Structure 1
Amino acid sequence: MKQDFQSFHANLSALDDQAINPSGNAPLGQLVDRGRRNLLKGGMGLAALGFIGGSLSACGRMVQSDSLIGFEGVPPQLDPAFDSVQVAPGYSARTFFSWGDAVMADAPEWNPDATDDWQAQLKQAGDNHDGMHFFPFSENPDSHGLLVMNHEYVNPPLHPNGMTLVEGRRPLDEVRKEQAAHGVSVIEVKKDAQGQWQRVMPSRYNRRISAMTPMAVSGPLAGNDALKTASDPSGREIIGTINNCSSGFTPWGTYLVCEENWHNYFVNHDPEDMARRVSHKRYGIEGKGMSKLYGWETADPRFDATPDPTQPHGGHVHEPNRFGWVVELDPFDPTSTPVKRTAFGRYCRECSVLSLGDDGRMAFYSGDDTKGEYVYKFVPAGRYVPGADQANRQLLDSGTLYVARFDADGSGEWLALVHGQNGLTAENGFADQAEVLLNARAAGDQVGATPMDRPEWVAVHPHSREVYVTLTNNDNRGVKWPTDKANPRPNNLHGQILRWHEEGADPTATAFTWEVFLLAGEQPGASDADGQPVPAHLTGTINGDIFSSPDGLAFDEAGRLWIETDFGDEEAAMQAMGTNQLLCADPRTREVRRFLVGPRGCEITGITWSPDYRAMWINVQHPELSFPASDGKTRPRASTILITKHDGGVIGT
């Protein structure tokens, strides 16, 4: 068996589209204002959506003035053979760091035929770059720093002939190379004498973290029986991190690695055990044939989570419990051990985004990137104190995890996931707080959280502390979950962005008000390729350049909101959208302008800036065709792109 690139991504998209949430939670339209629930039935034209987010339907036709957005937008890229990056006029984009590039000083040069072995891959950049952050050196912050990025998953071209299966088993060397290509890269970057950003090689800071890197465990589940396995009877050392999607950072200068779709790497062949084990079933682990993504369990037994009563702690049945956490990494100490912080709770976490109050109180926001799942925030019990870095790191080991309920009148509530509260009791299957955190999804079911349309990245406005979340899409909305005011469209192929205001602009508040910032999709009145009107559920409320499936999201210091997309550009409903793209929105006027388009077949993701905002880095995942990587050779490679302005100015102006 050989798995090619196209079939792999078709299978991966099918995995991402699986709905796991079995809860009967009433959507927000039924929780509040039941008398108006019929407004969402029948046609879904803009008139029916006028009540969402106050003035939303009107804002799509606003006359622009004093826009934060200073660049000229680019059109969608409709060429089916497009294989490069196009950026707004007045800007340059160059490939900066690609899968296989050397990270460690003794790394071998990457082989274009992908014959590098797993030992080489441990010293080279991993695959499918995703969330990232720039950490400046204090001496020259605008020209010198560490670029830290996640490597989410791997593609079949990682191997010369794709992924293979021999007599029902994956070759161990292939599995090891795939494990080595997951994780994190830390690279030192600096401006040269000509003012151009370059990688620093060698560097004592450069480091690779992978699915084979030992990690410590802290917080409520450290040493808990639910984390103990035959290979780790202490429950205090976990090997590796996987499916690292978006990320976060702390005010004391550490990087937060988030573990997203880790469940696709495990299998449990015991159907009776699966039926009763919430920590497997509620996260979508299955037992039919190989695990969903790579079949690692055929070569590495710790990914076979079938209980084995002949081994201590049931063999590897608890191994999936050791993933789905936030991992804290100190980028400035290459000898430090990454730490899995279990107080954050366990789910398929897209990101962990900081909101810092004036008094040092904090919140970290996350989306659980699966259709029908929830939006969360973790509030540490203590306060951040500048300069007290060692004490600050302990803040992540205690606090309160909350899940969001979005009510139909535009109000919302953060529901505490605390044992003994909101029905989280032994009678309902939660023996203690460890069980609540381990099965945060089930806890969200119990307390009545709002099922959302694939909540992904979160961004916090740098001045107002408004919070935004991307809801990428959900073709099961209206089937598995009724529509509601935050998720108003059935068969939602294009997604939306929500925003909310915490009460008193306090990150730790338990009450908020919310609105729909925009519905993605085509413009009202648009026609398809045959001249027929675009169906109402495929039109949106975008004031400006259209896009689909918002995913990545981040603010710059001026308050511009940058939006990255992730849709299947070969799908019929996406033909007007072109390829995936990076756009910029003005939160005040809701104007949206397209800044960059990527190559065919890619996802645009990951975003960070130098402190002066004169350099931007974004990532291009799984490009097809002949997208040129950092060395100009033509084997398509996931890559980090550096964007600068011709006049040296601030990005976005």
Structure 2
Amino acid sequence: MSDSAPRRRLLPLIGHNGGRSRATCRFRCGDACFHEAPNTSANEYFGDIYAGVLSRRNVLRAGAVGAGATAVGLNGAFTPALAAPGGRGPNPRLGFKAVEPNTVDAVTVPKHYDHRVVIRWGDPVAADAPEFDFAGQTGEAQEKQFGYNCDYVAFFELDDRRGLLWVNHEYTNEELMFDGYTDGSAADLEQIKVGLAAHGGSIVEIERVRATGAWKLVTKGERPYNRRITATTPMRITGPAAGHRLLRTQDDPAGTEVLGMLNNCAGGTTPWGTVLTCEENFNQYFVGGEDAPAEAKPALRRYGIATSGDTREGNRRFDRVQERFDLSKHPNEANRFGYVVEIDPLDPTYKPRKRTMLGRIKHEGATTRITEDGRVAVYMGDDERFDYIYKFVTAKRYREGSRRHNDTLLDSGTLYVARFTGNSPDEEIDGSGALPSDGRFDGSGEWVRLCDNERSYVEGFSVAEVLVHTRQAADAVGATKMDRPEDFEPSPVTGKVYCALTNNTARTPEQADEVNPRANNKFGHVLEITEKGDDAGATAFGWIVPIVCGDPEDESTYFAGYDKSKVSPISSPDNVTFDARGNLWISTDGHPGTFGNHDALHAVPVEGRHRGELRTFATVPAGAECCGPYITQDQKTVFIAPQHPGDGGTVADPVSTWPDGDFPRPSVVSIWHTKGKDIGF
């Protein structure tokens, strides 16, 4: 047996799609998997339609790398070439023994590694933040303290010893925050205010612990950058949709200002050093859809907002403290959420911008690359069953050092959606996960224009309507339905772009296609995109599915052709990042209900002879999902963000007591090699 992955029989699937508890599904995404997928368009699957056809320096490096191998496929379609034996670039092999799957209520790491909590829910962000009081938390206190479920993490160096940590606060688990909580209708109003304040994001200054890869929160002295962003922070709406009638409300008749951001999941950074944070499952916060105007209901439903029944039942009931969340009175308020939000961590006076030019979807991931001619491309997923993959390319070029110019880049350009074509006969894609006769799931694709600043390319839609009703616009051009596309990341070595597709148990065998090759896709897969000419501004690309996740003993799994007896199990890939050598790191959101083990952070080479040799690097506590991850530029630290530890329990009956042995607290953790070696080696 290889030391990379001890073999053990894994437990069968427990529960529903992805394996999260029903409580987490309720609070995170409004029970999305228990309802019909919002995409009810008549779009066929691509096999039926098109069968013939960082810190600043990290991002800059990703945009400047050389081209990967490419080739012209059948019928002139652009497809990635198979890597030559050994690969063209670095040929790294992971240098740690895989962590065994487990159910330990702790963060576990490989031998010779250590970890520590950097910051946890309730820790001070503002200098005048009160001490955290679990039993007596208030909204005013929470606005100055670290928020709840932490997801996307970014790090910005200030000097060799200090830096700024950005963390998304995706959503709240009220049943783990308040003793005896049932639902928002019965909740104390102060609890609702705490929930509003616990959303958003945090910027905090952290410092290195001695000369190690460990980091801790700075709690003394001036902390001028520390800042909380919440669900009530004033923000600007920018881009072509700003001011459109669909964004105007009673409180904002100009349609250019909005309070707060909701359900911020993954994200990215820009070459000019800002954070792009993504609003995802915003639909669950609104009530009153049953009494919204009839003309608004189709669009509301397309975004998963209930328009019938009692929409208040089981809801957080933010409308009890802010009426704007009641769509019967403010039907346009929901149109003001679902955007990529740009925030400058180095400028506390910077008012967050909701960039409408990047479209309105359930955004997950907004990762940038520099195009061949110096513009900026942003890759984005829409995290919903049967929804789409998008790209935005700026109209203007990036100017290094010109903050004023670069602040305008994301307001003009072209928004695209992806269509995929497989190169295997339809009969060879049967939904079982069996490889076609050419030995791989691959093909070509095109980026289909939706709009630019001056023109809509979707019949019947204005530019602003494309940007507010982006899902419907993508439906109209026949975009390819995907299995919950989540985070994106480009390789700093090859420039190829990787997307985590988390799962989709609703896909039937008849709906399987080569880019989503498995029906009842419990475990998800990873997609690799090679832009034509390695130019992020290209409108054609090749693609391959290098990893089909699950138990390696399952015949439907695939690890880039690597010996499956030597790889670790993985389920529901979610957030992704790269180390400097070009290894892909994948955090997961699904193990508790799929293998009976805890969620984890995995690493896998994607080039060379070890391509596909996936190993588990760390596991997270009971009930938690592994978020982040982020590897520092010096390669000495990886940050992870275990969110919703204790999922499935309550305050009175806890499932987890991590990290302090009392009640569970979502936290950010730093992991490092005790002998100072690079992460993973």
Aligned with 1:424 (options 458, 475, 494)? 458
Distance in 1, Cα, partners of 2:401 & 2:149: 35
Taking the aligned partners of 1:441 and 1:489, their CA distance within structure 2 comes to 24
Which secondary structure does the structure 2 equivalent of 1:563 belong to?
A: strand
Question: Are 1:509 and 2:538 counterparts?
Answer: yes
1:157 CA displacement: 4.4
Q: Do residues 109 (structure 1) and 131 (structure 2) align?
A: yes
3-state SS of the aligned residue for 2:365? coil
Which residue pairs with 2:108 in the alignment?
Answer: 86
Contact 2:80 2:543 in 1 (8 A): no
Q: Indicate conservation of the 8 Å contact 1:171/1:299, yes or no.
A: no
Task: Report what 1:182 is aligned to.
Answer: 199
Q: Report the equivalent of 1:342.
A: 356
Query: Is 1:411 aligned to residue 444 of structure 2?
Result: yes
Match of 1:309 in 2: none
Contact 2:487–2:500 under 8 Å retained in 1: yes
Mean Cα deviation higher: 68-77 or 468-477: 68-77
Q: Which amino acid aligns with 1:189?
A: I
Aligned position for 1:619: 641
Q: Which residue of 1 aligns with 2:12?
A: none
Tell me the residue number matched to 2:525. Answer: 496
Question: 2:375: which partner in 1?
Answer: 361
Cα distance in structure 1, aligned partners of 2:26 and 2:591: 12
Aligned to 2:391: 377
The amino acid across from 2:526 in the alignment is: I
Which residue of 587, 590, 593 maps to 2:606?
587
Matched residue, 2:254: 234
Cα separation, 1, equivalents of 2:529 and 2:111: 33
Partner SS state of residue 407, structure 1: strand
Equivalent AA in structure 1 for residue 143 of structure 2: L
Matches within 5 A, 1:286-297: 286-287=306-307, 288-291=309-312, 293-297=315-319
Partner of 1:208: 228
Amino acid at match of 1:281: R
> Corresponding residue for 1:9?
24
| SS of match in other structure, 1:100 | coil
- Does 2:675 align with 1:647? yes
Measure, in 2, the Cα distance between the counterparts of 1:192 and 1:626.
31
Cα separation, partners in 2 of 1:158 and 1:11, compared to 1, 3 Å: closer
What CA distance in whole angstroms lies between the structure 2 residues aligned with 1:566 and 1:193? 33
Q: Secondary structure at the match of 2:300?
A: helix
Please say if 1:545 is aligned against 2:568.
yes
Give the CA deviation at 1:271.
Answer: 5.9
How big is each residue's C-alpha offset from its partner over 1:603-622, in whole Å with a ceiling of 9 and x where there is no partner?
Answer: 00112232201011111011
Cα pair distance change 1:644/1:490, threshold 3 Å: same
User: CA separation in 2, counterparts of 1:326 and 1:239?
Assistant: 14
> What corresponds to 2:57 in structure 1?
none
Which has the higher relative contact order, 1 or 2, with Cα contacts under 8 A spaced 6 or more apart? Answer: 2
Alignment of structure 1 residues 177-576 onto 2, 5 Å: 177-193=194-210, 195=212, 196-202=214-220, 203-270=223-290, 273-274=293-294, 277-287=297-307, 288-291=309-312, 293-306=315-328, 315-409=329-423, 410-418=443-451, 424-426=458-460, 430=461, 432-478=462-508, 482-523=511-552, 526=553, 543=562, 544-567=567-590, 569=592, 571=593, 573-575=594-596
Alignment partner, residue 604 of structure 1: 626
The answer to whether the 8 A contact 1:598-1:620 is kept is yes
Query: Is 1:98 aligned to residue 120 of structure 2?
Result: yes
CA distance in 1, matches of 2:340, 2:118: 27
Q: How far apart are residue 284 of structure 1 and its match?
A: 1.2
Structure 2: which 5+ residue stretches go unaligned? 1-19, 54-78, 424-442, 647-653
CA contact (8 A) 2:624 2:642 kept: yes
CA gap 1:164/1:461 in 2 versus in 1, 3 angstroms: same
Give the whole-Å Cα distance in 1 for the aligned partners of 2:265 and 2:658. Answer: 21
Could you tell me how far apart the structure 1 residues matched to 2:463 and 2:456 are? 13
Q: Which amino acid aligns with 1:558?
A: R
Moved over 6 A (4+): 53-56, 419-423, 538-542
Gap change, CA 1:390 and 1:618, over 3 Å in 2: same
Deviations, residues 260-298 of structure 1 (Å, cap 9, x unaligned): 000111123436835654431210111322356422224
Residue by residue over 1:467-497, the C-alpha shift from the partner in whole angstroms, topping out at 9 and shown as x without a partner, is 1111110011117x71100111111101100
SS in 2 for 1:222: coil
Alignment-mate amino acid for residue 385 of structure 1: R
The answer to whether the aligner puts 1:149 opposite 2:134 as a matched pair is no
Q: What amino acid does structure 2 have at the position aligned with 1:31?
A: I
Aligned to 2:432: none
> 1:219-254, CA deviations, whole angstroms, 9 ceiling, x for partnerless residues?
111222111111111211100001000111111111
Verify the 8 A CA contact 2:416 2:447 in the aligned structure 1.
Answer: yes
2:92 aligned residue: 67
Question: In 1, distance between residues paired with 2:183 and 2:513?
Answer: 45
RMSD of aligned residue pairs (Cα, Å): 2.7
Alpha-carbon displacement from aligned partner over 1:283-326 (angstroms, at most 9, x marks no partner): 011132235642222442111112xxxxxxxx411100110111
Residue 11 of structure 2 is matched in structure 1 by: none
**Alignment partner, residue 101 of structure 2:** 76
CA distance in 1, matches of 2:289, 2:388: 28
Counterpart amino acid of residue 664 in structure 2:
P
Residue equivalent to 2:426: none
Deviation at 1:412?
0.2
Counterpart Cα distance in 2 of 1:276 and 1:185: 34
Summarize deviations over 1:515-550 as a string: whole Å, max 9, x none: 111100122xx4xxxxxxx6x557877841111111
Equivalent residue of 1:406, what SS? strand
Show CA shifts across 1:117-169 (max 9, x none): 111111111011000100112xx2x4321000100000124543243458x45
Match of 1:172 among 189, 194, 200: 189
Taking only the aligned residue pairs, the percentage that are identical comes to 39
Length, aligned pairs only: 592
Query: Among residues 36, 40, 54, which one is paired with 1:22 in the alignment?
Result: 40
2:539 aligned partner, one-letter code:
T
The alpha-carbon deviation at position 172 of structure 1 amounts to: 2.2
What residue identity is the alignment partner of 1:515?
Answer: I
Give the distance between the partners of 1:520 and 1:87, measured in 2 at CA: 22
Q: Secondary structure at the match of 2:408?
A: helix
Q: Secondary structure at the match of 1:441?
A: helix
**Which deviates more from structure 2 when the two are superposed, residues 342-351 or residues 113-122?**
113-122
Alpha-carbon separation, structure 2, partners of 1:206 and 1:605: 22
What does residue 636 of structure 1 align with?
Answer: 664
- Determine helix, strand or coil for the equivalent of 1:591: coil
> In the TM superposition, what is the alpha-carbon distance from 1:649 to its structure 2 partner?
1.5
| Candidates 116, 141, 150, aligned match of 1:129 | 150
TM-score scaled to structure 2, two decimals? 0.82
Q: What residue in structure 2 maps to residue 45 of structure 1?
A: none
Superposition deviation, residue 33 in structure 1: 3.1
Instruction: Measure, in 2, the Cα distance between the counterparts of 1:6 and 1:318.
Output: 32
Instruction: Name the CA distance, whole Å, in 2 between partners of 1:539 and 1:394.
Output: 43
After TM superposition, give the deviation of residue 16 of structure 1 in Å.
3.4
C-alpha contact (below 8 Å) 1:114/1:157 kept by paired residues: no
Q: Deviations over 1:422-460 (max 9, x none)?
A: 96122xxx2x10001111111110011000000001110
Contact 2:547 2:557 in 1 (8 A): no
Q: Secondary structure at the match of 1:324?
A: coil
Deviation at 1:357, TM superposition (A): 3.1
Matched-pair contact (CA < 8 Å) for 2:559–2:613: no
Contact 1:490 / 1:537 at 8 angstroms: preserved in 2? no
**Structure 1: runs of 5 or more not aligned:** 36-52, 307-314, 527-533
